[in-house]
Amino acid sequence: MWQWLAELVPARWKRWPRTLKLTREGKYFIGITVGVGFAAINTGNNLLYLLLGMMLSLIIASGVMSESTLRDVDVTRQPPLRIHANRPFLMGIALKNEKQKLASFSVEVEDLVDDKPLDKKCYFLKIPAGRLQHTSYRHLFPRRGRYQFTGFRVSTKFPFALFRKSRRFELPTEVIVFPELVPVRRADPPKARSMGEDARGTKGRRGEFHGLREMREGDDPRDVHWSSTARKGRPMVREYEDEAARRVSIFLDNGLPGGEACKDEKQRDGLERTISVAASLAADYLERGYLVRVVTRGAARPQWLSGPQQLTRLLHFLALLAAEPTEAPFAAPTDNIADPILVIPRGRPRAFGQVVEA
């Protein structure tokens, strides 16, 4: 019954509002205080009683002043817009003293990821009353993916460094770590293939007419091919040679034996390198003005992206990309427009198109 009642209590109510830990100096001070107390009781010396009272008053004053430092402060974090694996970043920390008259001194802030403190701390020497101060710490995540910041641990050793008093702040923040972007050799432009339907040699406004394709957002309505649209029942637009030659399909082999259940660290590291190379290739082509899509194994339907502004959207998708079984098919076939680029881990069989081994 008691266990059932304990489950109803929120987790934050089960924690002590403050935690207290003795420092090395504090252990010595407490030991000396206990010794002076025994000596005063055994001898009845008034001078020892006076010394004992002074030492106990320092302990009480330390508790009162440290509590004043931690009370009425608020902490927020300011993550950067983009975080990449294996690349250091700066996480902004802001500490505000909401007290009206009293300052806070010697405050340390630790960020918590999955309730575990990071190895970096932010230190504030003095925060005047009603003031907000900013600082940052440098950190690095070794792998892409989703990371959950749960809160902060704010502590102080003010004023005598006898105790470290800590207070926990809850501030959940989800951070997506993008794949690492690595240097890649600038690939040759994909060779355009011939379209199967309605390919002719007539000139267009942007070059030679290449064929027809489905209409996408942003296409010029003047390029609509009305007879094909009526015949197929969906909007079809003309495509020109220069546009067709600037389309790149990157096939990313995210297959592992058993998919996400694979425990082989070597193969998982190979998958991470493969994703990084594919992301780097896609970023390079987007910067050069190509229309890019990344095709992976699984059910995720790839979309054509254009312009550097779409890189964040692609990196977000790759950051959360899961491993699929090696027998899972790619989500889209090759498109008969340009030779595809296949990105695979080292040692995988080469299937088609240009092959880049990670």
Residues 6 or more apart in contact with residue 264 via CB below 8 angstroms:
256, 257
Q: For residues 297 and 328, is the Cβ–Cβ distance under 8 A?
A: yes
Chain Cα centroid distance, residue 40: 59
CA 63/CA 159 separation, integer angstroms? 9
pLDDT winner (highest mean) among 123-127, 294-298, 344-348: 123-127
pLDDT band at 198 (very low <50, low <70, confident <90, very high): very low
Predicted confidence (pLDDT) at residue 90 exceeds the cutoff of 90: yes
pLDDT tens profile 254-276: 988 888 888 888 989 999 999 99
Q: Look at residue 272 and give its three-state secondary structure.
A: helix
Residues 79-89: tens digit of each pLDDT:
999 999 999 99
pLDDT at 10: 52
Q: What is the mean pLDDT of the chain?
A: 83
What confidence score (pLDDT) does residue 338 get? 66
Position 351 pLDDT exceeds 60:
yes
Q: Which residues of 141-180 are buried (b: 16+ CB within 10 A; e: fewer)?
A: beebbebebbbbbbbbbbbbebbbbbbbeeeebebbbbbb
pLDDT, position 149: 94
What's the predicted TM-score (pTM) here? 0.75
Top pLDDT among 15 and 339 is at: 339
Contact indicator for 355, 348 with CB cutoff of 8 Å: no
Indicate whether 352 pLDDT > 70: no
Closest alpha carbon to 179 in 273, 254, 260: 273
The token pair at 179 is 């794949």
Instruction: Name which of 4, 354, 53 is nearest 189 in CA terms.
Output: 354
Amino acid at 245: A
pLDDT band at residue 245 using 50, 70 and 90 as cut-offs? low
Q: Select the highest-mean-pLDDT range: 23-37, 213-227, 303-317.
A: 23-37
